[in-house]
Chains A and B, each alone.
Chain A
Amino acid sequence: MNAKGRVFKYGDNVDTDVIIPARYLNIADPKELATHAMEDIDAEFVKKMRPGDIVVATRNFGCGSSREHAPLVLKENGVSCVIAASFARIFYRNAINIGLPILECEAAANGIDDGDTVSVNFDTGVITNETKGETYQAAAFPPFIQSIIKAGGLLKSLKERGE
């Protein structure tokens, strides 16, 4: 599995309130909800992003609320991968559970700039910055988490196990 796209780059502590503001959490339809993604940090995000694009940030991406709506609106908009130096723990779980690929890689988070074109090989964890001709190595997921991703999310993996 691979991803390739243009990068939208953000800084430290991007919180779930700016990824999807709470004032929209009464919206049940994921497509409608997705039109407000990143609205309070980057009002142009939804207009500018194309399916396959990649979000890159530095430390503690997705901090704050447990709202699963946050990874969901990124996935719904077609974000192919989120790369950060570190993730807040609930966002990290949520992304894996709903099948939004994420990679923790400090070198990539520091080396990649807004607008760069980046490709990701999820099997090897190699991130290639095609604009700058650099590569970065992300840590592989433990086998248990790989099995969730492979099944297409937590609930599907539980069903596969016969729960």
Chain B
Amino acid sequence: MGMTMTQKILAKHAGLDSVCAGQLIEANVDLTLANDITGPVAIREMEKAGFDKVFDNTKIALVMDHFAPNKDIKSAEQCLECREFAKKHGIVNFYDVGAMGIEHALLPEKGLTAPGELIIGADSHTCTYGALGAFSTGVGSTDLAAGMATGKAWFKVPSAIKFVLKGQLRPWVSGKDVILHIIGKIGVDGALYKSMEFVGEGVSSLSMDDRFTICNMAIEAGAKNGIFPVDDKTMAYIKDRVHRDVTAFEADADAEYEQTIEIDLSALGLTVACPHLPENTKTIDELGHIEIQQSVIGSCTNGRIDDMRAAAEILKGRKVNPNVRTIVIPATQEVYLQCIEEGLTKIFIQAGAIVSTPTCGPCLGGHMGILAHGEKSISTTNRNFVGRMGHISSEIYLASPAVAAASAVAGYICAPDELK
């Protein structure tokens, strides 16, 4: 029986000719990732268990992005713990303030993730790198500690759902709308323990940034990973970033999928996930009048240059509604600089938005935009759980950068075309 793309990558890294769904394997990892929240727990667990060496100081990434720049003394102590660990073990890919960006935007940008590789990260959105044709998945701190110490991780080989993408997205509709539509369709546990494999002629029309956004939120459907095939766009993206041999795996023609779902990209509309689950989706015309007090444009889901450009195109020459605090967060220093060079930063500031240094910040209710009781935010982030961005009675509506920018101007959730 044939293997899915994910199963082929897992088999290769486990040193096996083939694997099948449900099989328990131990695989070699190409990269491990932790941040300032999960890193300290992993470091303590590793040291407590008596592991005093890392498996490879070039294959560990530590990114200070969640509560950094340090939002308080406790957060500063956590970053310090990571910094000292990085120094002690000579961790090459330690990203501190000044070099750091939001981890899942940063690692692909730095060429640390590549097609065919196996990456584990102590952050649930590690599944983002599937956009490059890699197997990547989120784990906890203890798994990460084991990975840092041994270079290995255990997996149950997942079965898969095949998403066949057809057609092309209409104007303003983006990768965010694709993944919100899918989560709305299959539910927050619709792909539990499984791979989401995206294939079909529609793939080639999606930008890399769209693919990153789609894979990023695979976890929001409960998936183990999301993955795209490797094509010309992938190779163009990695060309000046990855300087090592890469392998483009393809699913076998007779690979077995639990389910096949066809998605007609040209039929998708702007989509919003209503409180308090990412599966509570509506198209924007079904939504009704919802006034907002905050708009967040950024995060590991939508803080890349395509996202910044989409928001700027709408905010150019306009002012945000005085009742809407509009917070733009380019995900990395490279994206930030590009915003400056392309004049996007000026557009944001002239529109009355603020532009923050890279941080996860408000996405998980850390800092830089916390909601008071009863407040509503439109947000390009990935989760709208109770209390995620602040008070437990506050509400988050998830949407694309275009919708978040248009809503910031209108003062209520709306489509870009509704603006005068």
Chain A partners chain B: yes
CB-CB under 8 A from B388, the residues of chain A are 17, 22
- A11-26 vs B, CB cutoff 8 Å, 1 = contact: the mask equals 0010101100111011
State in angstroms the CA–CA spacing of A88 and B218 once bound together: 13
Closest partner residue, chain A, to B366 (CB atom): A22
* A90 interface residue per 8 A CB criterion: yes
Q: Which of the 9-residue segments A63-71, A105-113, A130-138 touches chain B?
A: A63-71
- A66-105 vs B, CB cutoff 8 Å, 1 = contact: the mask equals 1111010000000000000010111001100110000000
User: Contact partner of A17 among B38, B192, B387, CB < 8 A?
Assistant: B387
Given known A88-B192, A89-B224, contact A94–B142 (CB-CB < 8 A): yes
- Give the A-B pair count, Cβ closer than 8 A: 132
CB-CB under 8 A from A89, the residues of chain B are 192-193, 222, 224
Tell me the count of chain B residues lying within 8 A, CB to CB, of chain A. 52
Given known A21-B365, A22-B365, A90-B124, contact A13–B188 (CB-CB < 8 A): yes
* A154 interface residue per 8 A CB criterion: yes
Given known A22-B365, A155-B51, contact A60–B37 (CB-CB < 8 A): no
* A140 interface residue per 8 A CB criterion: no
* B336 interface residue per 8 A CB criterion: no
A86 contacts B192, C-beta separation under 8 Å: yes
State in angstroms the CA–CA spacing of A28 and B67 once bound together: 14
* B333 interface residue per 8 A CB criterion: no
User: Contact partner of B146 among A23, A60, A154, CB < 8 A?
Assistant: A154
A144 contacts B154, C-beta separation under 8 Å: yes
* B24 interface residue per 8 A CB criterion: yes
* B109 interface residue per 8 A CB criterion: no
State in angstroms the CA–CA spacing of A26 and B39 once bound together: 12
* B72 interface residue per 8 A CB criterion: yes
Q: Which of A19-39 contact B (CB under 8 A)?
A: 21-23, 25-28
* A5 interface residue per 8 A CB criterion: no
- CB B111 to nearest CB in A, in angstroms, measures 24
Closest partner residue, chain B, to A65 (CB atom): B124
A90 contacts B386, C-beta separation under 8 Å: no
CB-CB under 8 A from B72, the residues of chain A are 26
A28 contacts B77, C-beta separation under 8 Å: yes
Q: Which of the 9-residue segments B42-50, B86-94, B338-346, B398-406 touches chain A?
A: B42-50
State in angstroms the CA–CA spacing of A4 and B219 once bound together: 33
B141 contacts A64, C-beta separation under 8 Å: no
- CB B162 to nearest CB in A, in angstroms, measures 19
Residue of B72, B149, B388 with highest tally of chain A CB at under 10 A: B388
- CB A18 to nearest CB in B, in angstroms, measures 6
CB-CB under 8 A from A60, the residues of chain B are 188-189, 192, 222
A69 contacts B41, C-beta separation under 8 Å: yes
Tell me the count of chain A residues lying within 8 A, CB to CB, of chain B. 40
State in angstroms the CA–CA spacing of A37 and B63 once bound together: 26
- CB A42 to nearest CB in B, in angstroms, measures 11
User: Contact partner of A155 among B46, B122, B193, B222, CB < 8 A?
Assistant: B46
CB-CB under 8 A from B298, the residues of chain A are none
State in angstroms the CA–CA spacing of A44 and B287 once bound together: 35
State in angstroms the CA–CA spacing of A26 and B35 once bound together: 12
B385 contacts A97, C-beta separation under 8 Å: no
CB-CB under 8 A from A98, the residues of chain B are 140, 142
* B239 interface residue per 8 A CB criterion: no
Given known A67-B38, A93-B143, contact A18–B386 (CB-CB < 8 A): yes
Q: Which of B352-401 contact A (CB under 8 A)?
A: 364-366, 383, 385-388, 392
State in angstroms the CA–CA spacing of A156 and B222 once bound together: 28
State in angstroms the CA–CA spacing of A153 and B138 once bound together: 18
Given known A21-B387, A68-B140, contact A158–B150 (CB-CB < 8 A): yes
* A163 interface residue per 8 A CB criterion: yes
State in angstroms the CA–CA spacing of A60 and B385 once bound together: 14
CB-CB under 8 A from A153, the residues of chain B are 142
Interface residues of B (CB under 8 A from A): 24, 37-38, 40-41, 45-46, 48-51, 66-67, 71-72, 74-75, 77-78, 121-124, 126, 138-143, 145-146, 149-150, 154, 188-189, 192-193, 219, 222, 224, 277, 364-366, 383, 385-388, 392
Listed A/B pairs (14) with beta-carbon separation below 8 Å: A18-B386, A22-B37, A23-B365, A25-B37, A26-B75, A59-B189, A60-B192, A64-B385, A65-B383, A66-B124, A88-B222, A97-B142, A158-B49, A163-B149
User: What 7 A-B pairs are tightest by C-beta distance, nearest first?
Assistant: A94-B140, A155-B49, A26-B74, A68-B140, A97-B142, A22-B364, A60-B189
Interface residues of A (CB under 8 A from B): 13, 15, 17-18, 21-23, 25-28, 40-41, 59-60, 63-69, 71, 86, 88-90, 93-94, 97-98, 142, 144, 153-156, 158-159, 163
